[in-house]
Structure formats: C-alpha cells, structure tokens
Structure 1
Amino acid sequence: MSLRSPGWLALLLPLAGLVAAYVLVQRRRGRYAVRFTNLDLLDKVAPARPGRRRHIPAAAFCGTLALLVVGFARPTTEVQVPRERATVVVAFDVSASMEATDVQPTRFAAARTAALAFVDQLPERFNAGLVPFSGTATVAVPPTTDRELLRAAIEGLQTGAGTAIGDAVTAARDAIRTLDEQADTEPPPAHIVLLSDGSNTTGRPVESAAREVAADRIPVSTIAYGTQDGTIDLPSGNSVQVPVDGPALEDLAAATGGDYHEAATGKELEAVYDDIGSSVGHRTEEREIWQWFVAAALLTALAAAATSLLWFSRLP
C-alpha cells in the first residue's frame, strides 16, 4: 500500500497528543479516587463499576479519527486488471533433442499438448502467433485471433536439427513489429514466450537478439523444458545425452524483463503456461482505497456509540 497525499498523516500528531492526555487524565483520576474516596462506601453505593471496559468507547473513537486521517492521505493498492488486448508469440523449440523421452511420451509431444492448452486460455481478443525453430526460425502463424489456425499449426509441428534461439527471438519480434505497423490504433502490449530444452547452437547470438527486443520493450519469458537425464536415439543406434540447458534462457529472460521458468514434466509445463498466461492477461494498476478506511471509521464510530450507550447510557 502507498499514499498519494501522505502530508495528511501529520494530523496523527494531535491525535497522539489526545491519547496521551487521556492516559494522563485516567491516571490522575485513579489517584484522586484512591486518596479521597471511602472505598467501603463506594462498594455499597456502586458495586458494579465498569472497570477497564470504560476505555473501549474512547479507544474506538480514537481509532475512528486515525482511520479518517489515513483515508485523507489517499491510500492506494495494486490490483490485477484483465487486459482487453495484447499480442503473444509462442516460440517453440522443435529441435531433435525434443524427441527425448525423459518426459512422457516425449518432450515434444508433451510440450505440444501444453502449448495447445496455453493458446486456448488466452482471451479471444488477444493476437497470438507461432514461431517454431530448430536450425532456423520461421513465422508459422503471424499474430492473429484465429485460434483454429494456430491450433492446426501447433498440431502440425515436426522436429529438425539445430537450435536457433536467437533467430527465434528475432523472428517473433519482427512478427510483432509487422502487426503493430498495420494497426490503426496504438499497438497493444506484446510478449514472447519461448520454450526450449537446449542452448543456442546456430544462427545469431542470443545476446544481440535480447538487446533488440529489450529496446522494443518486448519481454521474453523463457521455459527450460526437460531433465538432465534426457537422451535421444540416433539412426546409427547409439544414444546421445541431451540434458536441458537453462542458464542461457535465464539470461535471455533477465535481459528482456521477462520471467524464467523450469519444467521437468508435462504437468509442470502446463502450470508454467498457466502462470505466464495469468501475468500476460492482466496488468497491474494502482487504485485508491480511501473508501475502505472511511467505511472502517464509520464502523468504529458506531462501535464507540453502541458500547457507550450500553454501558454508560450516554454517547461518548
């Protein structure tokens, strides 16, 4: 929580003085009663004294004043508001290492299923595109609201040799730029979601691609998918280890303002996509909540009045 007009908090100082004066008066009142009152006679005349509860109305009254002062200071809080429009491009690693079976049935099959679920959960007005990459990267589906076209492209993906992460980032950025140039209104916010299980093996360096998308203020959220035990079978019959390599993907996300995730199973990948979808589909706004404090002040004022009437038959 933050305050837009914190200067009003200065009014808490006289309130603190009022509290201190109340405490002082109560102490002096107690000493006076003990010094000059016949306690035996007092017990017979007024055997049921209010005791500590006599302070409750006063405390509620001071609480009312404090809440009103904070309300004047215009407190705000951050809330998540659904976006009406956005552009999301999924960069999907289709390199041969995605055929590893450390994720059942394969990394590739599980990732494709999760990607289909991800695009289905995006709001209808979101533009979504697809950039598959192996040795090269191509824009298979430019950002569009046509989910059936996107689903068909994901279902038709095939694996190939090489991993061109830098090229994939550049291709995704170019697809977003093209859509923005065609827009008649202000372009919506854009986001790239890149899934890969390996490091960059061909094409342009990831670092230079990251600098370009960062300059365009396009965050890249990356997902390192798979385990350290992955292997694939070569045509020769030999097996080759293909452990997941996350550091480069983590650096890419950090350099562009995106988030880095790791997933070692199909369910974990679906959870990651859900998390990314939630963050992409909402924006953070600051909203004033002074009404909450005024409402609380009214409740405490009512509490002060009710307890005073109940116990002392008068208003505070």
Structure 2
Amino acid sequence: MSLSFFTDRRLFLIVLSTVGIVAFTALALLPGSPGQDRLATWLAAAISAANLLAAMLLARIGPRAHQLLVFSSLLAVTIALGGSDSGRDSDLYLLWYFWIAAYAAMVVRLRVALLHALVISASAVLGVALKGDLYPGGAAVVMAIVTIVATTLVTFWVGRWNHLLIVRDLLTGLANRSGLAHAAQPAIAAAVADGRHAVLVLLDINRFREVNDALGHPAGDRLLQVVAMQLRNVATDPALVGRLGGDEFAVVLCGLELPDEPAAAHEHLRAIGRTVIRQLRGPFRIDGVDVEVEASAGVAAAPTHGTTLGTLLPAADAALHAAARESERV
C-alpha cells in the first residue's frame, strides 16, 4: 500500500467511511449480529454516510474539519457499541477505534495526535462501560487503549516520514524543490500583498565537481551539508532555504523594501546576493582538507520579476547563467 494513503486525509476518510457504511449496515441486517435491527447501528451507518459525503465534497480537509470528522466517527461507533446486544460479540465494534485513531493521527504535531488518542481512548472506555459485559476485569478497555495508542504513534511517524520524503532533501535537511514551493509561495504572496518585496537568491557552487573528483563523493556530500548549514544563518528574517538539486541552492527573503529607482533597486539586489554569498566564506575543513568555496548567484524579486516562485525561478536562473557567463559573482 502506498505511504500516501497514510497522509492523505481525504482518501483515508473515503475508505474509512465506505467500510463503515458497509460494516454497520451488515451488522444491522445480519441475523444474530449484535447490532441486528438496532437503531444505534443504523445511526452509525448514517453518520458514516455523512462523513463519506463530506469527503467527496471537500477538496481539502483542513484541521477543523478533520477534528469534526474524527469526533463524528467516534460518536458513530460509540453509539453503535452502546446500543448493541449484550454479549461478547459486541467486541467487533472495538476494531473501529484503532481505524479512527489512525485517521486522527494525520496531524503535524505529536502532542495533538496524542490528545486525539486520549479522546478516542475515553470514547472506547465509555462504549465498553455502556455495555458492561464485554470482558471481565477491564481487559477490553486495556486492549482498546493499547491498540489506540500504538496505532496513533505508528501512523503519525509513518506520516511524518512520508512528509519528509516529499518536502525535504534527505542529505542536507533543507527543503527540496517541492517543499520550498510549499513554504515560499504563501510568504511571497503575503509580502506582495503587504506592498513589500520577496527576493529569490539562486546559488550555484563553482567548481564543485573538482571537490568530488579530488576528495570523492562522500566529501562532496559533506561539503553540501556544510553549505546548507551556513545558508541557514542568513541574517534576514524570515529566510527560507532549500536545495533544488546537485549543488544548486535557493534562499527566499520576504518582506524587504527596495528603492523605487530601477538602478538603485538593481544594485540593492546585487548587495543582497553578495550578503548571501558571504555566508559561504571558507575555508571549510572537509576530511582533514581545507576547502575554499566560491559561489555564483542569480537574484530575482517579486513583484518586479514575477509574483510566484514558479515565475521567479526562471528569472533567477537566467541571472545565474548570466553571472557565470560574464564571470561575475552576482
């Protein structure tokens, strides 16, 4: 199964709700089932159907909608469990709590995921208390809570790992091209809307291949990690830093003011590029060898050269090639 299944809230909700409709309807219709002809089971199927409709209609499930759908799913299974026939066959309903826990764990922060697990565990305890005869000695409660917490932690960390694979460069820890676009675009839009500028500085390490040839690829990788660490220290705040691939890096600076006069603005952008390049002053000690680093930079600004990262990148790339062609640093 694709890891995206564990991070796509909408897809997961569609599967969860569809299975819920089928399962609760079957429990309401099958002879001898704990939910046969029970209003609570039909109500659980109806809530699952409402969640499926929400998943089909919503293009994106935001945090508030996510919490609402989690709580409605909890309500469905707890009502179904509380309204089922007496007998140990009702433990079928407990299987739903770990499914809901997996869906509830699709959040950014671990403490939020654990808070959801606490609420789901409380709902499971309530459902078991309403039945009161599933297992003696609280075994059902212990089993449910352990399963809920374990499912929450596994799903959360699988989701975080998949997220890192999508938006992070694994070598340097910086944002990759996709991650930089995700983070930078809202910041660029906000700067432009506020009447300020966002500046993209595209960097290329000069003669990086010589380092690879002389010291080997592992040393080259360590040099890229050092460069990434240096670029994180860019003084202007906020600064978004990413590695676009190979030895090419990008720095996005938002909320800047530029002179109105074009020539002065042009020189100001050059000064910004030089400031970023100064972060790469060496030498850096790589495998016992002092390595000097030189970089070229291409600079583009929003809204002058575009209003999105997608339009700024070609402009900065053209400036970078011009810098290399004319033997200029910026």
Instruction: Place the TM-score, normalised by the shorter chain, in its bin.
Output: under 0.3
More helix by share: 2
**When the two structures are superposed, what TM-score results if normalisation uses the length of structure 2?**
0.19
**When the two structures are superposed, what TM-score results if normalisation uses the length of structure 1?**
0.20
